[in-house]
Amino acid sequence: RGVAMTPENWSKPETYYKTGEICNEYAAFFHPISVSGRAYGFCYDDVFDQSTLVECGNAERFTIDLKW
């Protein structure tokens, strides 16, 4: 995320992956193109409300429609 040395930014997603900063480029690539900006690109990517979990309580049906 590029915020390892600035603990005050750990819970601020807008400070993650700034241009020119050292960060995990793999994770930086996947976050913007994932659902709600959430992607598990590296360990601890699920802390500070950044979990990739998508939850739907009391669902009666789940449909996946894949088209190619």
4-24 pLDDT, tens per residue?
Answer: 888 898 888 888 888 787 887
Report the distance separating Cα 35 and Cα 66, nearest Å. 16
Binned at pLDDT 50, 70 and 90, residue 58 comes out as confident
Report the distance separating Cα 28 and Cα 19, nearest Å. 10
Q: State how many domains the chain has.
A: 1
pTM reported for the whole predicted model: 0.52
Does residue 51 sit in helix, strand or coil?
coil
Which range among 12-26, 35-49, 54-68 shows the weakest confidence by mean pLDDT? Answer: 35-49
Per-residue pLDDT tens digits for 26-38? 877 887 787 777 7
The percentage of the chain sitting over the pLDDT mark of 70, rounded to a whole number, equals: 91
Domain span at residue 66 reads 1-68
